[in-house]
Amino acid sequence: MIVAIIKAASLLAVGYCVVGGADKTKEQLENILALPKRVMTVHELKMIDRQIVYELIGSGPVSIEMTKFCKDAISWNTREPGTDYWGSPYRLFYNRTLYGEHSPVSLTYDHSDQFAVFSAGQDQKPYTPDDLTSKGEESEDVKFLVEKIEKVAAQAQKKGKP
């Protein structure tokens, strides 16, 4: 039974390659292989977000510079502090602005639901469909970011790009 399922899956994969073309198959394979990196990046984004909120609790305004903050506040094992699994720096999205990794942002606890930690994702370009954030659509600013990413994705699909 299992052997039959494996054979059927193999035939389907080959059929998909023939019908969809090698480029499409390569892209799909790259996306599948990137899934663990996406999961781990989202985990780190949420961890960094929580650390920023902890920093804001009981404090006045705090200046957050992502690279320095990640080096000081988070324990990293093997990668450069403050970078995602593709090597791109984490950035802070606040007040409808995506701040660079070395750009300080002043936040207070009142802002704790108005920012998101951002990763450019697998393509390493901001404002594309594969971008990742530490939060869902919880605030107007984060909704703005998600809408911008979705708009770019829709335009790319109209042009025939996946």
H helix and E strand count, the chain: 4, 6
The pLDDT value recorded for residue 34 is 79
Encoded amino acid at 125, one letter: K
pLDDT per position as a tens digit, 114-136: 899 999 999 999 988 889 999 86
Residue 60 has pLDDT above 50, yes or no: yes
Q: How far apart are CA 13 and CA 104, in angstroms?
A: 48
92 to 44, 66, 128, 148: CA distances (angstroms) = 13, 7, 16, 16
The pLDDT value recorded for residue 9 is 42
User: Residue 124 contacts by C-beta under 8 Å, 6 or more apart in sequence?
Assistant: 86, 87, 88
The pLDDT value recorded for residue 52 is 92
80 to 6, 38, 45, 71: CA distances (angstroms) = 40, 17, 15, 9
Q: How far apart are CA 38 and CA 47, in angstroms?
A: 14
pLDDT per position as a tens digit, 83-97: 999 999 999 999 889
Category of 96 on φ-ψ map: left (φ > 0), alpha (ψ -120 to 50) or beta: left
The pLDDT value recorded for residue 141 is 60
Report the range of poorest mean pLDDT among 3-7, 35-39, 92-96: 3-7
User: Which pTM value belongs to this model?
Assistant: 0.70
- Nearest by Cα to 51 from 136, 128, 117: 117
